[in-house]
Amino acid sequence: MKRKTGFVTQDDVLYPHLTVIETLTYAALLRLPKKLTKQEKIEQAEFIIMELGLTRCRNNVVGGPLFRGLSGGERKRVSIGQEMLVNPSLLLLDEPTSGLDSTTAQRIVATLRGLARGGRTVITTIHQPSSRLYRMFDKVLVLSEGCPIYSGRASRVMEYFGSIGYVPGFNFLNPADFLLDLANGIASDARQDDQSEYHGRLEQLDDQNSTKQLLISSYKKNLYPPLKAEIHQNYGDPIHSTSGASSLRSCENQWTTSWWEQFKVLLRRGLQERKHESYSCLRIFQVMSVAILSGLLWWHSDISHIQDQVGLLFFFSIFWGFFPLFNAIFAFPQERPVLIKERSSGMYRLSSYYFSRMAGDLPMELVLPTIFVTITYWMGGLKPSLITFLLTLAITLFNVLVSQGLGLALGAILMDVKQATTLASVTMLVFLLAGGYYIQHIPAFIAWLKYISFSHYCYKLLVGVQYSANEVYECGLGMHCSVMEFPAIKYLGLDNKWWDVSALTMMLVGYRLLAYVALRMGQPR
């Protein structure tokens, strides 16, 4: 049923960096059935743009709070267009005119009226429409505290309430204002009975609740019976309807596109949307400046300054533990409204979204650390060996992926950026202290903390590939000592490298699996 029904939320849930044509094209590729070719789906998106009058702004970005894009009315029409792509027989809208000026609101309702004239059922909630908007409605349903007080032709509403003794106090009143007053129980000055009858009933209707109850009772007595009879006449046996619904539900289980097609479209859309964030000048400047500054601080340090070199390797593990972690925390909380909306309409599988998000984040998550390590490694005077450099880079990138996985898991579990950031700060502080650089004699009862710290394993591996057992360093006046006897390295214990790799691998898989499970539990199927 949900693929035959369109629902437009009150708030326009759209990607801000996509243009109108991109937004509707990606929606068409995901929502339209696989029997249509890609070109036919694109043509359907173009048709919707023409039908909703969006041709002039088709190449404009949607926009958001921080940068200018479409107007409020244009954004609303794009939201409507996303639902119109599947040609729904029923279109539901939640306050489509909220926050719009009267002229824009009239254009939106006129658009909806045109869609209704095309053979679709359009149902919308609306508060305080102008008299011009009200005249566009075919039927209205008025609710008071969730209970109907009128349902029928919009043109007959005044006639009905007049028949039960409620009329406006003057002739030229907006019917919508009058209906809102009645729905809130404000009707004491709108009775058109004679004075004696008015005073006789005043005690019964002296509060708004009495008025509401009277209106609800009048609806049940006058309007509900014929409405019920009409429904039974038009839709017949409820048992037959139930079997039809079962067959609809069975059809819903069939996705409109394959998993691989969903993955490709979502990957392209994600790269298009996030390229402005991932490749932002500020982010690149941040990494480049830290890389150059680090290279200058550790400029051409050699093994005679082994303490400095070990400190640089620990900095690698910590910086590329913090940076991707805090970037990843924002991923799912920011996209949650879009994810809920699109998943509710049966647009794609959660797994295809999740893996496309993982793949889309890889380029920038790996490019920046590569640039950083390349600059800092050679400026810092670490071992001038291509093999050692490549191993150092591989370990750092591995650390980045594990850190990013933890950030995704925290964001998916909490779905609150403030809470997730606070928890991540505490977690990374623990990992920092237990990493093995600052404290080398941790009490036994708390020494287990280092085994849950991915920074600890990364640090051990970086030191392990940088130094070999036969290397020596100058440890005194003309004396040379084995690198393996240096206190910081001796404490780490550079054996069991494969155990360290296995631990990082388990964390990599475990964090990302945890993030997926958290998303699955928090999302509609």
Q: What is the pLDDT of residues 269-281, one digit of tens each?
A: 999 998 887 778 8
**With helix as H, strand as E and coil as C, how does 22-51 read?**
HHHHHHHHHHCCCCCCHHHHHHHHHHHHHH
Q: How many residues would you count in the chain?
A: 525
The pLDDT of residue 211:
84
For the segment 14-37, what is each residue's pLDDT rounded down to a tens digit?
999 999 999 999 999 999 998 999
pLDDT tens figures, 285-329: 999 999 999 999 999 888 878 888 989 999 999 999 999 999 999
Distance of alpha carbon 447 from alpha carbon 57, whole angstroms: 61
Token readout for 202 is 């005043």
CA–CA dist 264, 266 (Å, integer): 6
Burial of 476 from C-beta contacts in 10 A (0-12 / 13-18 / 19+): exposed
Q: How far apart are CA 176 and CA 133, in angstroms?
A: 9
Confidence band (pLDDT; 50, 70, 90) for 194? very low
Strands 90-94 and 5-8, bridge-based pairing:
parallel
Give the pLDDT confidence score for residue 102 in this predicted structure: 86
Rg of the chain (C-alpha set): 33
Q: Is 128 helix (H, G, I), strand (E, B) or coil?
A: coil
Beta strands in 291-416 (DSSP E): none
| Mean pLDDT taken over the chain | 87
> φ, ψ for residue 192 (rounded to 5)?
-115, 35
β-partners of residue 191 are: 166
What's the pLDDT score for residue 21? 97
Question: In 3-state terms, the chain is what percent helix, strand and coil (to 5)?
Answer: 65, 5, 30
- Residue 324, amino acid: P
Model pLDDT for residues 340-375, shown as the tens digit of each residue: 999 988 899 999 999 999 999 988 889 999 999 999
- CA 316 – CA 374 distance, rounded (Å): 12
pLDDT > 90 fraction of the chain, expressed in percent and rounded: 57
Give tens-digit pLDDT for 107-133. Answer: 899 989 998 998 889 999 998 888 889
What's the confidence (pLDDT) of residue 480?
77
Tell me if 69 sits within 8 A of 60, measured CB to CB: yes
pLDDT at residue 521, as a whole number: 92
Least confident span in 313-322, 394-403, 406-415, 467-476: 467-476
Tell whether the model's pLDDT for residue 195 goes beyond 50: no
Cα 457–chain centre separation: 33
385 in Cβ contact with 466 (< 8 Å): no
Q: What tokens were used for 332?
A: 């799912």
**What pLDDT score does 492 carry?**
79
Proportion of the chain above pLDDT 70, given as a percent: 90
186 pLDDT tier (thresholds 50, 70, 90)? confident
